[in-house]
Amino acid sequence: MLPVKPPRGMDHAECLYLDSRLSGLYRTVFKSMADIERLRASSGLSSPSTPAWATVKHFRQGPGAAWGIAAESLALVLYYLASEEHLSGDEVEKYRAAAQYTHSWLHDDNFDGSNETWHADPVDGEEDWQGNPATAPVVHNAVRVAYDLEVSRRAGGTS
C-alpha cells in the first residue's frame, strides 16, 4: 500500500511519469539566467522564497533545490508547458498534482511535514523553506496563468 494516494483520476505510474518529465524539463528549460528572466517577465511569476543570488544551477535542480528555489523552478516549468508546449490549464494542473503527489510519496517516510504546505520556517534569523513546493502560491499562480493562456488561445489571442 502506498503511503499517500494519487490524485483523483490518476494512478501512481502516471504521476511518476509526469514528474520524471518535469525533471527533464528543469534541465532543458533552464540553460541560462536569461531563460529564467524571460520566463519570469512573460509569466509575471516570481517567488519571495527565491533568493536573489539563485543561479541557473539551482533552478535546474527543480524540487530538489534548496533555499526556497524549488517552488519558483516548478512554477516556471509549468508556465513553460502552457506557453511553449500549449498545454491546457487542466493538463498543467495534472503536472502540478503529479509533482505534489510524487514529492509526498518520496518523502513521506523520510521526514514529518512532507505533505505540509510550502512555508518559511525561520532558523537562526534566516528563512528555511519547508514542505511540498507544489503547494506554493507561485505554483498555483502558474496553473492560473495556464488557464488564462488557454482562454486567450481559444479567443484567438496570440499567447
Tell me the average pLDDT of the chain.
89
Measured in Å, how far apart are the chain's first and last C-alpha atoms? 43
Residue 5 lies in a domain: no
Residue 119 lies in a domain: yes
Strands (E), the chain: 119-123, 126-130
Q: What's the pLDDT score for residue 125? A: 58
Q: Which domain holds residue 82?
A: 12-154
Residue 1 lies in a domain: no
> Does pTM surpass 0.85?
yes
Q: What's the pLDDT score for residue 1? A: 54
**What is the average pLDDT across 88-104?**
96
Residue 2 lies in a domain: no
Residue 4 lies in a domain: no
**What is the average pLDDT across 95-122?**
75
Q: What's the pLDDT score for residue 152? A: 95
Q: What is the percent of the chain with per-residue pLDDT over 70, rounded to a whole number?
A: 86
Comparing 63 with 43, the larger pLDDT belongs to 43
49, 65 contact by CB (below 8 A): no
Q: What's the pLDDT score for residue 4? A: 81
What distance lies between CA 142 and its chain's CA centroid?
8
Comparing 119 with 11, the larger pLDDT belongs to 11
**What is the average pLDDT across 73-88?**
98
Number of domains in the chain: 1
Residue 6 lies in a domain: no
Confidence class for position 113, pLDDT limits 50, 70, 90:
very low
Residue 19 lies in a domain: yes
Residue 73 lies in a domain: yes
